[in-house]
Amino acid sequence: MSYEGFVAGNLLGQHFTMVDFNLFDRHDLSSPQLGGNPWPSLYTNLRDNELLLEQSRANPISAVYEGPALILKAYITAALTDIYGDVPYLEAAQGKSNGIVNPGYDAQSDIYQAAGGILDNLDQGLAAIENYTGTQALDGDIILGGDLSRWIRLANSLKIKYLMRISEVVEVADALETIYANDSYIQKSTDNATFDFLATQPNTFRLAILRAGDFNLYVLSETMQEIFSELNDPRVGVLFRPASNSAGVFRGLLNGPDASNTSISVADFSLTGTIFRENSQLLEANFMTNWETLFLLAEAAEKNLIQANASALYNQGVAEAFDYWQTELPPGYLTSGRAAYESDGQNPVEQIITQKWIANSINGYEGWIEYRRTGFPNLKTVSASLNNDLIPVRMPYPAEEAALNSHNYQAAILDNQNSVNSRVWWDVD
């Protein structure tokens, strides 16, 4: 999913631009090429996680896995529904246990709020961990090292995230204030839920082992170049490299070019940085971090959903995000210029979301999802749109659903609800 976020989510969120084989970047989302089809990956993991959850409840020796499995179930489910909208959920992943191979589609509001839904599974996961009295170690935990206290902090950070995601359609202030007051969420980088890529296979970032031609397709977007320039932000040198024909110059390209009608030389633009290829051992797959949590809390404070200092949370989030991308925070970055909170009459929510968008460059679907939720940062109309100059607000269901789950699929797409321009439940424009 880190690679999916890189090659597809980062195109939707306009972190990167694709030069060739780029129907997806031109917003024909029904034509995934090098990426843009997270459905099978997410459902495969949802199924495997469900098997682990069933085992944890059937075998006392495996009971330690119940809490983490419920938390991961919430995480995977949120990724699915936030990308696609209404999806098969309550009956999904039950082929082996109950023989259900054609699951019905559930409303996103239920997927979030119903018993067994995202928020409920996080609460159940927390309760399972807090009530666990055994001594069995959480073996095989490559995310948080088997530390159940870190799983508690992850669950609470995810609750903050998902409550903010639905905050325009549900009253969430009391729940957010409770979590914030309890102070048990990811606050330190040492508690970040990440996977550290290595320099050797099979634990390298996937891009590091692809042929050079695939790599050359991904360049700095014009959207991101302009934002980096406005902020005078040195992270551009980590995420990208200067254009090869212009020493020291970072140059972006407008998303969605029609390469068949436009002559584009990759040498004129900035390719993605060495951290994604030559030095991917410096890269982390991002599940949830302290800086993302801080930005969410800053937004909540700015919107008076919690009683806290939004500016202080924002400043701390920016500092932690710079550290995450192994970049020194420039003196004055947070006290003068465009990054200073509310400087020059700027919209502070836009500043918060933009900083989170920059930092989520390894988790690109997040940038696109948060753009849909907030309208920030200001994305551009792509160069040669195949979607009537509209930025998609959901992914279409894969064609396999029409063939393999036809009855439920047809019921789900009534009134053209498979359109990439149909807003999901929490997206109220």
Q: Is 202 exposed, middle or buried (0-12, 13-18, 19+ CB in 10 A)?
A: exposed
pLDDT at residue 311 greater than cutoff 80: yes
Predicted local confidence at residue 94, as pLDDT: 86
Q: What is the 3-state secondary structure (H, E, C) of the chain?
A: CHHHHHHHHHHHCCCEEECCCCCCCCCCCCCCCCCCCCHHHHHHHHHHHHHHHHHHHHCHHHHHHHHHHHHHHHHHHHHHHHHHCCEECCCCCCHHHHCCCCCCEECHHHHHHCCCCHHHHHHHHHHHHHHCCCCCCCCCCCCCCCCHHHHHHHHHHHHHHHHHHCCCCCCCHHHHHHHHHHCCCCCCHHHCEEEECCCCCCCCCHHHHCCHHHHCCEEEEHHHHHHHHHHCCCCHHHHECCCCCCCCCCCCECCCCCCCCCCCCHHHCCEECHHHCCCHHHCEEEEECHHHHHHHHHHHHHCCCCCCCHHHHHHHHHHHHHHHCCCCCCCCCCCCCCCCCCHHHCCHHHHHHHHHHHHCCCCHHHHHHHHHHHCCCCCCCCCCCCCCCCCCCCCCCCHHHHHHCHHHHHHHCHHHCCCCCCCCCCCCC
- What angle, 0 to 180 degrees and rounded to 10, lies between the N-to-C axes of helices 118-131 and 148-165? 160
Condensed to tens digits (0 to 9), the pLDDT of residues 369-379 reads 999 999 999 99
> Alpha-carbon distance 11 to 6, whole Å?
8
pLDDT at residue 214 greater than cutoff 70: no
> Alpha-carbon distance 408 to 271, whole Å?
43
Segment among 20-24, 78-82, 312-316, 345-349 with least mean pLDDT? 20-24
Condensed to tens digits (0 to 9), the pLDDT of residues 351-371 reads 999 999 999 998 879 999 999
> Alpha-carbon distance 369 to 386, whole Å?
20
Name the fold adopted by 36-136+393-429.
1.25.40
pLDDT band at 83 (very low <50, low <70, confident <90, very high): very high
pLDDT band at 2 (very low <50, low <70, confident <90, very high): confident
Condensed to tens digits (0 to 9), the pLDDT of residues 100-155 reads 899 999 999 999 999 999 999 999 999 999 999 999 999 999 999 999 999 999 99
Per the CB < 8 A criterion, the answer to whether 275 and 264 are in contact is no
Condensed to tens digits (0 to 9), the pLDDT of residues 36-63 reads 899 999 999 999 999 999 999 999 999 9
> Alpha-carbon distance 310 to 295, whole Å?
9
pLDDT at residue 299 greater than cutoff 70: yes
Provide the pairing of β-strand 193-196 with 105-106: unpaired
> Alpha-carbon distance 62 to 140, whole Å?
12
Predicted local confidence at residue 216, as pLDDT: 64
- CATH 1.25.40.390 spans which residues of the chain? 36-136+393-429
**Mean pLDDT value of segment 65-70:** 98
CA 416 to chain centre: 26
On average, the pLDDT of the chain sits at: 94
Identify the bridge partners of residue 221 per DSSP, sorted by sequence position.
253
> Alpha-carbon distance 104 to 90, whole Å?
8
pLDDT band at 215 (very low <50, low <70, confident <90, very high): low
Condensed to tens digits (0 to 9), the pLDDT of residues 86-105 reads 999 999 988 888 888 999 99
> Alpha-carbon distance 371 to 120, whole Å?
26
> Alpha-carbon distance 21 to 15, whole Å?
17
Exposure string of 73-95, with b = 16+ CB inside 10 Å and e = fewer, is bbbbbbbbbbbbbbbbbbbbbbe
Q: Which two tokens stand for residue 427?
A: 């997206």
Segment among 13-22, 112-121, 321-330 with least mean pLDDT? 13-22
Condensed to tens digits (0 to 9), the pLDDT of residues 224-278 reads 999 999 999 999 999 999 999 988 999 999 999 998 888 888 899 999 999 999 9
Predicted local confidence at residue 106, as pLDDT: 96
Closest CA to 77 of 106, 35, 36, 37: 106
> Alpha-carbon distance 10 to 220, whole Å?
10
pLDDT band at 321 (very low <50, low <70, confident <90, very high): very high
Predicted local confidence at residue 31, as pLDDT: 82
